[in-house]
Structure 1
Amino acid sequence: METYDSMLARISAAPGQGSRTILDPATGEPVGEAPVHTVDDLEHAIAAAAAAQPAWAALGHDARSAALLKAADAVERSAEELAQLLSREQGKPLNGPNARFEVGACAAWLRAAATTPLAPEMVVDDGETRAVLDYRPIGVVGAIGPWNWPMMITIWQIAPALRMGNAVVVKPSQNTPLSVLALAAVINDELPEGLLSVVSSGRDVGARLAEHPAIGKVMFTGSTAAGKSIIKSSAGTIKRLTLELGGNDAGIVLPDADPKAIAEGLFWGAFINTGQTCAALKRLYVHDDIYDGVCEELTKVAAAMPMGVGLDEANVLGPLQNRQQYDIVARLVEAARDSGARILLGGNPDPGQPGNFYPTTLVADIDNSNPLVAEEQFGPALPIIRYSTVDEAIRMANGVDVGLGASIWSPNLTAAREVAARLEAGTVWINTHGAVDPRIPFGGAKQSGYGLEFGVEGLKALGIPQVING
């Protein structure tokens, strides 16, 4: 097992056209040097992946799965070093559902991808016609990831791709390249050379990856605007796509819910990773009968959650990863304040504090058309909107052009499921929000993207269906 310093030295020494300094969003201090790759570097990575892929595919599912299980073991051996790096680069604390949690999820998803069964499907066998559906590798997959969960979402992309016999070229966010480079370095100790590469670069390389004729599929997690650009870039070669795009997830609290019982679940649904999660709860609709009670109990929970530098073991909330996102959150909260909305907690950042810290903020008595409600804030600010009838809440929840996730909160599961079925979202949780499971398919509706990840459906999405008829 290598040390934190040796891991950082290994990824900083990766070949590239120079390097750039990555800063800690909590302190502004240097974390390390990220290599700067070019389109030529991308071409070399794709060529190496294309050369390594046929032999990897020929190994078959059992051998590939065994390699992924070894990769999961390797991640666990380096878990603390990876979590320390992730905390410093992304900003999330070590504890809570944050850095150590994310690294643990990487190992869990590797194992799930390795052990999920996928047998050929007998479609017809009636004595006259025999048709079998199976999946063959795509070839080289391009994986473009975000800065909010850089390690975990990279694993969501590469683990099923590798299991299905593909090679992968990863393009991480420019904000968090070190985390992804380190994770890949650990995994590559268990994989054939050239099969998995990381190209740390800017948008020009990402655009080339999306249009490259040797890339058979692109997996992307990020904004809806960037997803639309990838669709356009990929059209010339008819690439397969899995797109997990922006969300503005609604939660609906039904009038029979107990405010105190659900307050902590609501908090973590909204503020996991300091609100920087695509499928976080971003709009909370609460019935008039219990509105004040939910506001009171949620404020108590939120006020008790410590925010600060991620390496401090006491903290469970961290900074926003970059200043651009900080400015978005600050603008939206100010728009809410200017409209006359009631600030229950937060909304008062300290301009003299180092780092991108925006305080945990709860905003009540806000109109549904307010920008803090209508736009995705992607940070630690939650608007709480009143409603009078369930039909009204459903109308407001469905009134945006995205639909990644949603949630219903009620002790009456039958009623909650009936409301859930009326929401326009890829996943609707009941009495929780944002919980993902490697066995359960996950994907968005409307402009939150298309394609499924996780489970059997996620494996199928990384293969080309082939029917043998006869």
Structure 2
Amino acid sequence: MQTYRNTVDGLLSEPVSSYEIFNPANGQSLGFAPQSDEQEVERAVQAAMRAQKNWANQSDQERRDITLKIAQILEENSDYLAELITREQGKPLSGPGSRFEMQACVGWTQVPASLELPPETVYEDDERKDTLHRVPLGVVAAIAPWNWPLMIAIWQIIPAIRMGNTVVLKPSEYTPIATLEMVKLINDVLPAGVLNTVTGDGIIGSKLTHHPDISKIMFTGSESTGRQIIEASAKSLSPITLELGGNDAAIVMPGTNIKNIATDLFWGAFLNMGQTCACIKRLYVHEDDYETVMAELSAIASQMKIGDGMDESVLIGPLQNKMQLGKVQELVTDAKGAGCDIREFGEVPDQGYFMPITLVGNIKDGQRLVDEEQFGPALPIIRYSEVEDAIKSANRLEAGLGASLWTDEQAQASELATRLEAGTVWINQHGAIHPMVPFGGNKASGYGVEFGIEGLKAVTQGRVISIKK
């Protein structure tokens, strides 16, 4: 059985210990992941520090060219990496699954390579000229989650190195294998030390974020861990980009043609088995449209095949880990005990971390499945009578990553969108992120943005050069 290895200073690192990774669909062993220790974290950070100055001194065009070479490597190896993602994370190859994730990796690499962030004249008169330059921060600590392990890692890696930083990446301990293989491939075109990895649980993540030579932290994950990272950054004063998940609300406006939006609503909620930060987690439906929404979503759910994502006909796979499966099942059980209408769809395999696609009706604000982010294939559908009530419900929780409005009257929705407390408000779509469009959370869903020009700025610091004429 293969033991995968970290990349440190351009070389594969011999692990001091390892642990086994299993396929969430069938429990089969996928091999062994390396377990980093404090010494490997130190080696990785020092390698990144040594490489950073030379990397930053390369011309902007040279870094852009190398970034495009990375995109080509990702494209050429997309089938190999997609299969690893499916076996390790669980999402199907087909539909909005692992191949889709690899397409996103390519796109989110090509776009930063195409962007420019030139010096900006911020003031000029007869006596002086002041120019703002964007310069790299140094060594970036990137901590990626298990739900979109390669795509989110790319969101962190590519803007950072594009702008002259170096990176130490820690993938989730649940899904390290595909990420380690991707980083190994990328290193074929990068100078040694520009991109390094360490692996392990939160203890290793803490060693990395507490390191005094880290100049920037990028983290996608839970709110509780995000708060710990904020504390860790205080000593080094490292700036942070935090994406701490969400409990996204979607509001279907009264009288909307439900048939026209039902498929988009379904995938807005059940993309990656609901294990996506910007998924619909709470669906608010006008009382007159409630039965129609339940019927339309039920019809779609009943057609979905649940199983091992290596089967090309499967669009719904397992949850990634036993802990997450147990959490979602507990929330559904709580709703069932409260007398909610539980509708389950799909034949669940005997082995693996599977659960049915679950629609939960006759549920209200304040119940656990509504108020706690489920991060799984169970959608609470809540009736409302007045649009004002739905807006208040959407805003009442501390989560503020995304939200959406669904309507046949877009002019009305555009006005209401300004009142929803979320980093992104979509109209007639949900989770429709784009590499040119800034993305980030409000309130307890984090701060800072990724993507586009604003994302490049987030991995740099300003330097003003002021000239007396």
Deviations 1:63-89 (A, max 9, x none): 101001001101111110000101000
The count of residues paired between Structure 1 and Structure 2 equals 463
1:419 corresponds to: 416
Q: Deviations over 1:377-415 (max 9, x none)?
A: 000000000001110000000010110000000021111
Alignment-derived partner of residue 371 in structure 2:
374
Which residue of 353, 358, 362 maps to 1:356?
353
**Where in structure 1 are there 5+ consecutive unaligned residues?**
none
Matches within 5 A, 1:150-299: 150-299=149-298
Please tell me the residue identity of whatever aligns with 2:337.
D
1: distance between equivalents of 2:343 and 2:398?
28
Deviation at 1:240, TM superposition (A): 0.5
The whole-number CA distance in structure 2 between the counterparts of 1:387 and 1:323 is 34
Instruction: Note the alpha carbon deviations across 1:11-43, whole angstroms, 9 max, x for none.
Output: 797421121110000000001211111110010
Q: Deviations over 1:286-330 (max 9, x none)?
A: 011211111111111121121110111111111000000001100
Aligned to 1:321: 320
| AA aligned opposite 1:226 | T
- Structure 2 counterpart SS, 1:204: helix
Distance change >3 Å, CA 138–CA 9, structure 1 → 2:
closer
Q: Which residue of 1 aligns with 2:406?
A: 409
CA contact (8 A) 1:372 1:383 kept: yes
Q: Deviations over 1:256-301 (max 9, x none)?
A: 3111111000001000000000111000000112111111111111
The answer as to 2:22 corresponding to 1:23 is yes
Residues 1:433 and 2:437 are matched in the alignment: no
Q: SS state of the match for residue 289, structure 1?
A: coil
Inter-partner Cα distance in structure 2 for 1:397 and 1:127: 53
- The share of aligned pairs that are identical, in percent, is 49
| Counterpart in the other structure of 1:343 | 342
Give the Å deviation of 1:344: 2.7
| SS of aligned partner of 1:366 | coil
Match of 2:395 in 1: 398
1:302 and 2:308 matched: no
Aligned to 1:54: 53
CA distance in 2, matches of 1:385, 1:209: 42
Partners in 2 of 1:62 and 1:303 — Cα distance?
51
Q: What amino acid maps onto 1:100 in structure 2?
A: R
Contact 2:320/2:353 (8 A) holds in 1: yes
Contact persistence 2:4–2:34 (CA under 8 A): no
Displacement of 1:349 after TM fit? 8.5
Contact 1:39–1:204 (CA under 8 A) maintained in structure 2: no
Secondary structure of the residue aligned to 1:281 is coil
Asked if the contact 1:11/1:178 (under 8 Å) is kept, the reply is no
Q: Distance in 2 between matches of 1:127 and 1:242?
A: 39
Cα distance in 1 for residues equivalent to 2:189 and 2:88: 25
Distance 1:85 1:10 in 2: 15
Partners of 2:347 and 2:171 lie apart in 1 by: 30
State the alpha-carbon separation in 1 of the partners of residues 452 and 63 from structure 2. 17
Indicate how the Cα distance of structure 1 residues 328 and 292 shifts in structure 2: closer, same or farther if over 3 A, else same.
Answer: same
1:121 is matched with which residue?
120
TM-score where L is the length of structure 2: 0.96
Q: Which runs of 4+ in 1 moved over 4 A?
A: 8-14
Code of the aligned partner of 1:380: P
Query: Which sits farther off after the overlay, 249-258 or 200-209?
Result: 200-209
Distance 1:289 1:122 in 2: 56
Q: Find the aligned partners of 1:418 and 1:31 in 2 and give their Cα distance.
A: 50
Letter paired with 1:463 = T
Partners of 2:299 and 2:59 lie apart in 1 by 54
Q: Distance in 1 between matches of 2:201 and 2:396?
A: 34
Shift of 1:10: 6.9
Instruction: Tell me the TM-score normalized by structure 1.
Output: 0.96
Q: In structure 1, what is the equivalent of residue 461 of structure 2?
A: 464
C-alpha separation between the residues in 2 aligned to 1:296 and 1:382?
A: 14
For the residues of structure 1 that align with 2:214 and 2:400, how far apart are their CA atoms?
A: 28
Matches of 1:145 and 1:11 in 2, distance apart? 15
User: How far did residue 60 of structure 1 move?
Assistant: 2.2
Deviation track 1:432-467 (CA, whole Å, cap 9, x = no partner) reads 100110000000000000001000000000001111
Given that 1:349 and 1:357 are in contact with CA atoms closer than 8 Å, whether structure 2 keeps it comes out as: no
SS at match of 2:142: strand
Matched-pair contact (CA < 8 Å) for 1:60–1:165: no
| SS of corresponding position for 2:289 | helix
The alignment status of 1:133 with 2:118, answered yes or no, reads no
The 8 Å contact of residues 6 and 197 in structure 2, kept in 1 or not, is answered as no
Describe the shift of the 1:38–1:10 C-alpha distance in structure 2 as closer, same or farther (beyond 3 A). closer
Name the residue aligned to 1:97: 96
Do the aligned partners of 2:6 and 2:198 also contact (CA within 8 Å) in 1?
no
* Structure 2: gaps (5+ residues): none
Contact 2:25 2:317 in 1 (8 A): yes
Q: Which moved more, 1:93-102 or 1:117-126?
A: 117-126
Q: Distance in 2 between matches of 1:148 and 1:95?
A: 16
In structure 2, C-alpha distance between the alignment counterparts of 1:15 and 1:436, rounded to whole Å: 38
2:283–2:379 Cα contact (<8 Å) kept: yes
Q: Give the whole-Å Cα distance in 2 for the aligned partners of 1:260 and 1:368.
A: 26
Distance (whole Å) between structure 2 residues aligned to residue 364 and residue 218 of structure 1: 40
